[in-house]
Amino acid sequence: MKLDKLIEKLDILEINGNRDIDISSIHYDSKSITTDSLFIAIKGYSSDGHKYIENAIKKGAKAFLIEDDVNIDNKEEYTFIKVEDTRNAMTIIASNFYNNPTNKLEVLGVTGTNGKTSIITFLKQILSEKYKIGSIGTINIDDGKKQIMSKNTTPESIDLQKYFSKMLENECEFCTMEVSSHSLYLDRVENVNFSIGMFTNLTEDHLDFHKDLDDYRKAKEKLFYKTSKANIINIDDVHGKKILDNIKDLDTPVYTYGINCEADFMASDIKLYANGVYYKLHTPTYSDEIYVSVPGKFTVYNTLAVISASYLLNIEIDIVKEKLKNTIGVRGRFENIPNDRGITIIVDYAHTPDALENVLNTAREFVGGKIITVFGCGGDRDKAKRPIMGKIAQQNSDITIITSDNPRTEIPKLIINDVLKGIEMNKDNYAVIEDRKEAIYKAIEMAEAGDVVMIAGKGHEDYQIVGSTKHHFDDKEIAYEAIQRLK
Ligand SMILES: CC(=O)N[C@H]1[C@@H](OP(=O)(O)OP(=O)(O)OC[C@H]2O[C@@H](n3ccc(=O)[nH]c3=O)[C@H](O)[C@@H]2O)O[C@H](CO)[C@@H](O)[C@@H]1O[C@H](C)C(=O)N[C@@H](C)C(=O)N[C@H](CCC(=O)O)C(=O)O
Ligand SMILES: Nc1ncnc2c1ncn2[C@@H]1O[C@H](COP(=O)(O)OP(=O)(O)OP(=O)(O)O)[C@@H](O)[C@H]1O
Ligand SMILES: N[C@H](CCC[C@H](N)C(=O)O)C(=O)O
Ligand SMILES: [Mg+2]
């Protein structure tokens, strides 16, 4: 594409060099650069893209989008475009380069602290009955033909627009997508035209990144100004109510869901079982009965969001009911590890206080014996949630084993010490086993028939990040190993 066309809608402060050149690819990372490309220099949290411009030239970049003036030899041989904010300008360029794919692709975005992966998984299973669907989220990216593992929940704008364009090429009509608060804050989705936006809930997480909960909510709220068909909001959540107040006068219609308040989509007569939930559904035009083969009150909320979106997309309720009844669930979310010892072993992705409390409450509903919880907190992430999770684990379990979960560049013992600040030390119902494998072995070894072993925090992850190295580690595999060892 001609550079001129690529930078069409940018607010340019200064441009030096030829605009009439062909650009074959666009990059924000010098490591991926190929010849005749445009390199976008971003000032990040740990590095500054401007430092890599000479390296980018060696690899064949011809044009540069910059914020700071650059001093290099033979500068006149290249084109430099200076803008106020390269990260923001990148979203416009990315969308231009891939011919604005979300003008055609219907993107259904979900934001909120918990429930995003669950909702897009259910929604994809339902919509796939009638349409070809792509999806983008924590577990993987599906471009309609192949699935690749995700690096982040919501990719950087260039990658995102490339995936959208691939989905169109593969004849997808919809994309179900998780929209993280980081992506809204860092403009990764700035130039995406969303069709429907959904809000799940907002609870303590990521306060290492966002100033406070209000700042965190404001980031999430940005999604609802980017939608054209509808916004769907959980108004049982106080932050959901606030968002509703702020967006109710927009042109995009708002629909609400909830259990405890008068909402457009409501659940009543809820019954929670060990292997699923039942409820009566009330919509603006009809009522029906819903059974979902995934346990937990949070499943009621997640499926209310799914049902609301399906309703607005005119999917027949019979299809929705059938898919929810027979769903295979969501990988690493309340996933049951079958065994012949009479214990219920669950691998779950709860890595926030609210999620941990929810899964433990759900287990309490059906446990015959004890609840033994294994969990840790991630390094280089929100520190404030650590003691809260410690307290929640101890209060809602009979035995708590505190261990490691992606320590990243932090010292595992120090993370555990933060968790211990929330633990009542005079009780003897907790233990620290830093090695996660040993912790899981111990929990399963001590469990008796009727007990629940809740292995929380990593869900689908098949790695443990220590320092900056990713080692293979899979809670499910270790749980199976633990069962085998006892034979
Ligand atoms: C805080 C954060 O989100 N950081 C993201 C951000 O990094 P950054 O802008 O700070 O980048 P940087 O490392 O300082 O580098 C600056 C620039 O120099 C470039 N560079 C750097 C080195 C080099 O050799 N050459 C080069 O060109 C980099 O590509 C970048 O453009 O942009 C990068 C490129 O997109 C992301 O990979 C990176 O995500 C990091 C790895 C991350 O861990 N993010 C997490 C916190 C995150 O985004 N999580 C959310 C929510 C998760 C949830 O669901 O709860 C998510 O959407 O995944
Ligand atoms: N609606 C909900 N409310 C509270 N907790 C939930 C909800 N749905 C799921 N959970 C719990 O939160 C965990 C994470 O769920 P899920 O992966 O769907 O959330 P997510 O929003 O995609 O998380 P992430 O931000 O890490 O991608 C689940 O394993 C479950 O324990
Ligand atoms: N998307 C979340 C996932 C956290 C999962 C947990 N296992 C951890 O590493 O803290 C994050 O990157 O903050
Ligand atoms: Mg997710």
Report residue 253: phi and psi, to 5°. -65, 145
Ligand 2 lined by 206 (C-beta under 6 Å): no
What is the per-residue pLDDT for 323? 97
Token pair recorded at residue 58: 């060696």
Region of 21 (left: φ > 0; alpha: ψ -120 to 50; beta: rest) is: beta
Nearest ligand to residue 181 Cα: 1
CA atoms within 13 A on the CB side of 314: 2
Ligand 3 lined by 405 (C-beta under 6 Å): yes
For residue range 265-281, what is the model confidence (pLDDT) as tens digits? 999 999 998 889 999 99
For residue range 186-220, what is the model confidence (pLDDT) as tens digits? 999 999 999 999 999 998 777 777 778 888 888 89
Contacting residues for 436 by C-beta, under 8 A, at least 6 apart: 374, 376, 403, 404, 405, 464, 473, 475, 478
- SS3 of residue 295 by DSSP: coil
Say if residue 341 carries a ligand binding annotation.
no
Residue type, 269: D
Decide: 427 and 394 in contact? Cβ < 8 Å. Answer: yes
What is d(CA 292, CA 125) in angstroms, rounded to the nearest whole number?
Answer: 13
Say if residue 390 carries a ligand binding annotation.
no
What is the per-residue pLDDT for 212? 82
Contacting residues for 46 by C-beta, under 8 A, at least 6 apart: none
What is the per-residue pLDDT for 213? 84
Q: 85 C-alpha vs ligand 1 centroid, how far in Å?
A: 16
Residues with CB under 5 A from ligand 4 (ion): 116-117, 138, 178
What is the per-residue pLDDT for 208? 74
This complex has an ipTM of 0.95
What is the per-residue pLDDT for 487? 87
What is the per-residue pLDDT for 273? 86
Ligand 3 lined by 406 (C-beta under 6 Å): yes
What is the per-residue pLDDT for 74? 87
Q: 302 C-alpha vs ligand 2 centroid, how far in Å?
A: 9
Instruction: Tell the residue nearest (CA) to atom 7 of ligand 2.
Output: 115
Residue recorded with tokens 């494998």: 437
Q: 121 C-alpha vs ligand 4 centroid, how far in Å?
A: 10
Contacting residues for 71 by C-beta, under 8 A, at least 6 apart: none
Contacting residues for 427 by C-beta, under 8 A, at least 6 apart: 394
What is d(CA 77, CA 64) in angstroms, rounded to the nearest whole number?
Answer: 12
Decide: 360 and 388 in contact? Cβ < 8 Å. Answer: no
What is the per-residue pLDDT for 392? 98
Say if residue 308 carries a ligand binding annotation.
no
61-66: strand order across its sheet: 14-16, 79-82, 61-66, 37-40, 25-27
Decide: 201 and 354 in contact? Cβ < 8 Å. Answer: yes
Decide: 194 and 107 in contact? Cβ < 8 Å. Answer: yes
Nearest ligand to residue 115 Cα: 2
Domains of the chain listed by start with CATH number: 3-95 (3.40.1390.10), 101-326 (3.40.1190.10), 335-485 (3.90.190.20)
Residues of the chain with pLDDT under 50: none
The C-alpha angle 466, 472, 430, rounded to 5 degrees, equals 65
Q: 423 C-alpha vs ligand 4 centroid, how far in Å?
A: 28
What is d(CA 8, CA 20) in angstroms, rounded to the nearest whole number?
Answer: 12
